[in-house]
Chain A
Amino acid sequence: MSKPLALVVRAPGTNRDGDAAFALELAGAEARRVLINEVFADPKLLREARMLVIPGGFSFADALGAGRLFALEIVTRLRDELTTFVEAGKPVIGICNGFQVLVRTGLLPGDGLTVALGGNRIDGKPDGQFICDWVRLQPVSQKCIWTTTLTADVECPIAHGEGRFVCDPDTMATLVADDQIAFRYATPNPNGSMADVAGICDSTGLVLGLMPHPEDHVLPRQHPQYLRHHRGGLGRAMLEAGVNHAKDI
């Protein structure tokens, strides 16, 4: 079977597209990095792809709040194409800035619900202070195609200033009831997210957004305790789940 094409879309300021592309190739996809302008000019690119990836970074400098401009570009110029993409059963993942983008487009959590990712709020530190550290993620959702097959926690870095998951209590209840909580932090909550939420999916389970960077833990040696003989917890497993799903479309 040929490798499914994963489209890694970058806007000005996207900077983890290379990490995502490398990780996806390891996970069995053919990763193609394209500029958002190329997709606008030729939406056929989306039709050929079987997975859409919005990687991390600071799209448009995150100048007016993380992901806002990139989301506005997508909503303004690509909304229908994207809806068609998901309706065709193709998986979508937004990592870090990509998560912020998907939330601001309304694609996550979907169904008219709204959530937000605010500035990190950690005791004793100014709001929105960037933090780079490692976390362990507990996969929760049995509906999300990215998490259902995971048998162990995922360990990977975080690197963000606006990762605090926020929503109203009703929305949280809906997300929990509908099994849309994809990941929770299993190590101490690094950013003040409600209910330790690190990532959510839409109601179809195809669209995943998460703040941490599983694409930066795809080789054992990338783990900080590699020289202490730590193995396992690869973020690659999660990406493989997405790629395997894309293969079968």
Chain B
Amino acid sequence: MADVDAATSRRHRLTLRSHGSDTFPDTTATTITIVGALDQDDLGRLGAVLVDPLLEVGSWDAPVGAGQLDIGLIPGVTDTAAAQVVHAADLLGVAITHASVGRLIDLDAAPDDAEIRGRWANAVIERWSLGATVEPGFAADSIVEAHTERIELPDDDVALAQLGTARGLALDLAELHVIRQHFAAIGRLPTDAELETLAQTWSEHCAHKSFRADVVLEASVGAEGNEGGDTAEPLLARLRRSTTEIAAPFVVSAFDGNAGIVRFGPDRTYALKCETHNHPSAIEPFGGANTGVGGVIRDIIGAHHRAIACTNILCFGPADTPDAELPKGVLSPRRIIDGVVAGVADYGNKIGLPTVAGGVLYDPAYVSNPLVFAGCIGVAPADRPALTGPHPGDRVVVFGGRTGRDGIRGATFSSMEMDATTGDVAGASVQIGDPIVEKLVSDLLLDGWDLYTAITDCGAGGLSSAIGELADGIGADVELTEVPLKYAGLAPWEIWLSEAQERMVVAVAPSQLDALIDLAALHGVEISDLGSFTGDRRLVVRFEGEPVIDLDTTFLHDGRPRRRLVATMPTPERGLAAVPPCADPDATLLALLAHPNIASKADIVRRYDHEILGATVIRPLTGVRNDAPADGVVLVDPRDTDGIAIGIGVNPWYGLHDPEHMAWAVVDEAIRNVVVTGADPSAIALMDNFSWGNPTRATTFGELVAAVDGCVAAAHAYGAPFVSGKDSLNNEYLTADGTRRAIPPTLVITAVAPVRDVALTVTPDLKRPGNPVVLLGRTLAEFGGSHLMMLSGDHTVSAAVPAPDAGASARYHALHTAIRNGWVDAAHDCSEGGLAVALAEMCIGGRIGMAIDGLADVHPDATVALFSESSGRIVCEVAMESLDEFLALFAADGAATVIGHVADSPVLCFAEVFERHVDDLVAAFNTSGAKGRS
């Protein structure tokens, strides 16, 4: 720190402003501050590299004007650009000691502090100065002396609970009791590092306490002789058991390790994982989403697979939410949307993975708790080297990014509810990712994947959870001073807990260590040998040789008391076949197409590279103009003829009414999305992601239990096992006036299935005039949580949500046969907005119309036929020569209805109801500012 201050006179700052266009004058400049004994020649040479005169103007040491807001990063926040400035100076032979990159914004009027925070800067990672130069965020060494404390655990429960709160442990009293007893029994006090390790390992985020809790059904509580109530199987155990019972031959590994693993075909396996990164994205949208993507990619690397694609589902508050309606401490949805999309795009695009499948949902309930689901899929040859370790004697090796004070206590933070102070106090929990480093790490691990015996990533809990997990049942002894640091002065527990990004831990046989070190040097990846796996089942962590942690791994991993959570089961109104009023179906269709949840997402999708790796053969956007929505995406490596389809299902609005049927419906939707592409319905693997409210509230937990009921029932019905899952609970926000804002039950299901032949895949866009159009599945008045209900003003009005359709599985198998025979020219699922929206989207894709004259055969009530969202339905454009054979496949199902044919003209015509030109459909669909190519 001292040398930086002394060097103020040797500071130079380059302000870099790009030539704006006439319509968009550039109001944000980049600032680069450097420190060094530099002469004019040095500055000139550096400037020549940093400034491209055709694009920008650079000026050295320009003062900050009165109307300018100068913004810099807080010290310790990852500053990749600054690292490159140092690199550039080094290549030029210009000696600089520090660099920092910031931005300078020209403002029309002086904003107040709230406006700066709300619009221009983010206090979580940035600091600023209005009209004066901000202190650059040089990563400086701290002069705090590293030390370890011993923590007294009070006998008094109130004081014990207070200690837990004060340290942000997020443990309940029963858990604190067990910890107190444990240390009393071994006759010493825990260290701060031990307490923090237990808190991280036992956090909701890492231990999934609610999913592992005994389920106590409220109805059984208090009955005579049964005061505690009946306990049912924990939710995670039920999901696992359903996978075991389904016994699908393609499941290699389910709910174990970093990702689920399935084997499609003889020669390769796929690793599947989907994560949530909700809390970080709420307070620092770019960094939260960015590191969410980085984290899930590391899960795939940690499962010993090569990542091939990313997925994401994003849930936001409506973009037009007025600032005045935002609870204190909550960022505007517009800022969250911009930041999250930029964060997702930045990581995927830079690491070089196609971001292919996804969805964007808008609802006022997500204003204070936006949701970010990030998924990743990897592939590996089936004969890749097996991971058999760690073995006693193997080295504990960490590599990748350096460790800093960033991301401390992320696991416990994400396990708590948020309020207005969250953004301020949790700053250190959020980080900025560095996808380039992760790419180097990934390349290194793939090049050297026979050099290690076990691998895992540093995610939540950092080294404590990575090494802690690897050492489970074997033990390890590591030295923290061997961990490469970004800056000196971290306390031992901070090194151990830091969630600094882009780090992996591997177990390496001593005989292979030199080879791995050499390979790391070639790839330019920093690598450190921290110690060894021991075999004594103790986790020993040292600092300068002295143990700061000495824990029994059995206590660490199995010592946590099992929770009991009471569930009050929801009572959905399943008999309520209410039909919302719909006076003008024509206007309704246009309004649905323009609804933010249904309208084109091209503006977002096109910011993601979905072409890299050359494998994306069915893209998220499809049709003659590449602007119509696809259902599932299909990836086929250019070297192969077969690959996989990925489909996603999500519908929180059904969840408000009937979580069990919601779960079934979204499993069905995810499965339909892959089946319509031509994927094999007999080999579908599923992933679950639950984002829920506080599970200690019995009604909320009851909704979760009901959703798991639906998942398990659907998995059995379709023979599609769950192989991986993740839950994010406590997605609630306590506003200043004490109002609790919870999200609707949000379950994201991802389905992955093999595609055996890329030539026999299908997209939703209409292909050939004259082809018959067939609706598969039955249509009932099921408007609960529907988008028609939403248009009518209130989607919380009780009504039956789409019910499970027992015939759906057989129907999908029959459809698969038809696709394999080449009889299907287009296929599209019916989901939000019902049949009318599905047909409109098919017309948009083909830029051609349809003549629909069989609406009455779908349902006698045209509103139901057009807009009900019944599950299990698929619209098919059937090759006209093959209609009879096609229909014969569905004779047993009795739910194939010929509803019309592809027209010669670009008009979607519902006989005797209304007709619309396809151009109008396109215009409505693109209203959200998203335009296709002309």
Contacts and interface: CB of A to CB of B under 8 A. Distances in A.
Contacts of B607: 129-132
B350 A15 contact: yes
B88 A72 contact: yes
Contact of A221 (B613, B758, B762, B933): B758
Interface in A129-172: 129-134, 157, 159, 166-168
B619 interface: yes
A213 B80 CA distance: 27
Interface stretch (A43-51, A116-124, A197-205): A116-124
Contacts of B85: 64
B54 A166 contact: yes
A124 B602 CA distance: 14
Contacts of A64: 49-50, 81, 84-85, 88
Contacts of B18: 118-119, 127
A131 B50 CA distance: 24
A77 to B, nearest CB: 8
Contacts of B765: 228
B20 to A, nearest CB: 8
Contacts of B524: 12, 35, 37
Interface in B626-646: 626, 636, 638-639
Interface string B347-389: 0011110000000000000000000000000000000000000
User: Which residue of B84, B85, B929 has the most chain A CB atoms within 10 A of its CB atom?
Assistant: B84
Nearest to B440: A12
Contacts of A218: 614, 638
A174 interface: no
A132 B611 contact: yes
Contact of B617 (A73, A119, A130, A222): A222
Interface residues of B, number: 61
Contacts of A225: 624
Given A63-B83, A69-B88, A213-B611, A35 B522 contact: yes
A167 B52 CA distance: 11
B49 A68 contact: yes
B198 interface: no
A132 B91 contact: no
Contacts of A72: 49, 88, 91-92
Contacts of B92: 72, 76
Contacts of B352: 15-16, 57
B24 A127 contact: yes
Nearest to B932: A133
Interface string B11-37: 000000010110010100000000000
Given A15-B351, A227-B763, A60 B436 contact: yes
Nearest to B84: A63
B425 interface: no
Nearest to A15: B352
Given A15-B350, A118-B18, A225-B624, A73 B54 contact: no
B606 interface: yes
Interface string B516-548: 000000111000000000000000000000000
A65 interface: yes
B626 A116 contact: no
Given A58-B349, A167-B54, A187-B933, A133 B626 contact: yes
A240 interface: no
A64 B58 CA distance: 13
B626 A224 contact: yes
Given A58-B436, A132-B611, A159-B349, A221 B617 contact: yes
Contact of A15 (B24, B80, B612, B639): B612
A121 B610 CA distance: 21
Interface string B595-609: 000000000001111
B619 A224 contact: yes
Interface residues of A, number: 58
B386 to A, nearest CB: 25
Contact of A228 (B20, B350, B617, B767): B767
Contact of B614 (A19, A69, A114): A19
A188 interface: yes
B84 A60 contact: yes
Contacts of B934: 188
Contact of A188 (B434, B435, B626, B933): B933
A16 B81 contact: no
B10 interface: no
Nearest to B353: A15
B345 interface: yes
A13 B54 contact: no
Nearest to B54: A116
Contact of A61 (B436, B611, B761): B436
Contacts of A134: 626, 933
Contacts of B622: 224
User: Which residue of A19, A187, A219, A224 has the most chain B CB atoms within 10 A of its CB atom?
Assistant: A224
Nearest to A17: B352
Contacts of B608: 130, 132
Contact of B609 (A114, A126, A130): A130
Contacts of A227: 618, 761-763
Given A35-B522, A131-B606, A134-B626, A60 B55 contact: no
B726 interface: no
Interface in A209-249: 213, 215-216, 218-219, 221-222, 224-228
Contacts of B610: 132
A97 B424 CA distance: 38
B611 A216 contact: yes
Nearest to A57: B352
B188 interface: no
Contacts of B761: 227
A127 B26 contact: yes
A157 B440 CA distance: 25
Interface in B481-495: none
Nearest to A19: B614
A185 to B, nearest CB: 12
B287 to A, nearest CB: 15
Nearest to B350: A58
A157 B354 CA distance: 13
Nearest to A41: B522
B439 interface: yes
Interface in B755-775: 758-759, 761-763, 765, 767
B87 interface: yes
A114 B49 CA distance: 14
A218 B614 CA distance: 9
A213 B934 CA distance: 21
B638 A22 contact: yes
Interface string B35-70: 000000000000001101011000000000000000
A119 B16 CA distance: 14
Contact of B55 (A35, A63, A129, A166): A166
Contact of A116 (B52, B523, B612): B52
Contacts of B624: 225, 228
A131 B930 CA distance: 13
Given A61-B434, A132-B607, A166-B54, A13 B614 contact: no
Given A132-B606, A224-B622, A12 B436 contact: yes
A45 to B, nearest CB: 14
17 contacts: A13-B350, A15-B352, A19-B613, A57-B352, A58-B435, A72-B91, A72-B92, A114-B54, A119-B18, A132-B611, A133-B606, A133-B626, A213-B611, A219-B614, A221-B636, A222-B617, A222-B638
Query: Closest 6 CB pairs between A and B?
Result: A15-B352, A116-B54, A157-B611, A63-B84, A63-B81, A159-B609
Interface of B: 18, 20-21, 24, 26, 49-50, 52, 54-55, 80-81, 83-85, 87-88, 91-92, 101, 345, 349-352, 434-436, 439-440, 522-524, 606-614, 617-619, 622, 624, 626, 636, 638-639, 758-759, 761-763, 765, 767, 929, 933-934
Given A12-B524, A15-B439, 8 more contacts: A12-B439, A16-B612, A23-B614, A68-B88, A118-B55, A132-B606, A133-B606, A224-B622
